[in-house]
Amino acid sequence: MARILVLLLSATMLLSACATPPSQVGPDGKPLPKVYRIRAGDTAEIQFRMLDSVNSLRQAAGRSPVQLNAKLNAAAATHARDMSIQNRPWHFGSDGSSPIDRVARVGYPGQLVGENISETFETELETLAAWMDEPNTRVVILAPDARDMGFSWLQEKNGKIWWTLVMGK
């Protein structure tokens, strides 16, 4: 009798291990997003993945490639942090600064072409795809006169990411 009980208990445990986990869906029936966590050491990898993706899109559109620029990266990082502090995605800093002001403050010798921003839980490539779907942000990415790119973000503890892409010439 004890042997049968042990066998039944073992079979129950094995079968329960085979059960599919409950799906993670929201009230709308769609899958819940997974939080994209960025580690401190991922900065260069993410920036170069974005640069390669932007340049692929630019090449497909017959545009010349852009290169990462440390000063534009700094301007992008400053604005991503400031948007998080303000808790709103917009192009003006808490001090009233514009993208032109921020590019000048970091000592970028060229001119601003444009700035794209986003508040999301999505990856950088999902964000790039969303920017490409909108005419106003697509024109910044594919600007014919762009030569330099800055890209940065700030991720909050809850997983929300504030992305900023800056193009210069």
Residue with tokens 């899958």, as numbered in its chain: 31
Per-residue pLDDT tens for 52-79?
999 999 999 999 999 999 999 999 999 9
For 25-29, 31-35, 122-126, 131-135, which range has the lowest pLDDT when averaged over its residues?
31-35
To the question of pTM greater than 0.75 for the whole model, the response is: yes
Residue 160 is given by DSSP the state -
Per residue in 85-139, pLDDT tens? 998 888 988 888 999 999 999 999 999 999 999 998 889 999 999 999 999 999 9
pLDDT-based confidence at 41, cuts 50/70/90? confident
Provide the percentage of residues in the chain whose pLDDT is more than 70.
Answer: 81
Instruction: Classify residue 51 by burial, with Cβ atoms within 10 Å: 0-12, 13-18, 19+.
Output: middle
Half-sphere exposure of 146 (CA within 13 A, CB side): 31
Tell me how far apart the alpha carbons of residues 105 and 125 are, in angstroms, rounded to a whole number.
Answer: 28
Which pLDDT does position 35 carry in this prediction?
Answer: 66
**Cβ(73)–Cβ(150) below 8 Å:** yes
In the prediction, which pLDDT does 75 show? 97
